Amino acid sequence: MRRGRTATVAWSTFRGVTAALAMSGMRTLTTQFGLVRQTPPEVMVHSNAPGLLARVPEERRGAVVEIAHCGYGAMGGAVYACLPESVRRHTWAGPLYGMALWFGFEALINPVLGVRDTPKRNWPGKVAVAADHVLYGVILAEPRKIPDLRPPSR
């Protein structure tokens, strides 16, 4: 990779971790308000904890799941950086990418890990999970240049 490309991938990887952490904050709110009973990472752990986290003490499992979520967010950020610039420059690219990651997780990763008992979500739960993935995409695709908000000099 060229140096500029490497910097773009590194920055997007960092943004992916930041976005995953923002999602976790949003999920805290949506679960506390009762909109979502179990977040996608919680579903994965509870349906497969004996196989995936058997050696992790129960009191540490939440932290391990959060680290895995950040890793998935980082990977998502790195892959996003590899999309053509002509795609990434569009405002809609990040939010659609965040939704695509959710759909990919549900359709591909859950079956590979053997997660079968995904909860049937009511519409507020679906909207809440969709919203945190849109949030991921918005943060991931943040503008590359910060606008100069200083008043013009005379």
Residue 17 has pLDDT above 90, yes or no: yes
Over residues 18-46, the pLDDT tens digits come to 999 999 999 999 989 998 887 777 776 66
What's the rounded mean pLDDT across residues 69-73?
Answer: 92
Distance between CA 102 and CA 134 in Å, rounded?
10
pLDDT interval class at 100 (50, 70, 90): very high
Over residues 116-140, the pLDDT tens digits come to 655 666 788 888 989 999 999 999 9
What mean pLDDT is reported for the chain?
Answer: 82
Residue 147 has pLDDT above 50, yes or no: no
Can you give the pLDDT at residue 41? 73
Task: For residue 74, count other CB atoms closer than 10 A to its CB.
Answer: 19
63 CB burial (10 A radius; 0-12, 13-18, 19+): exposed
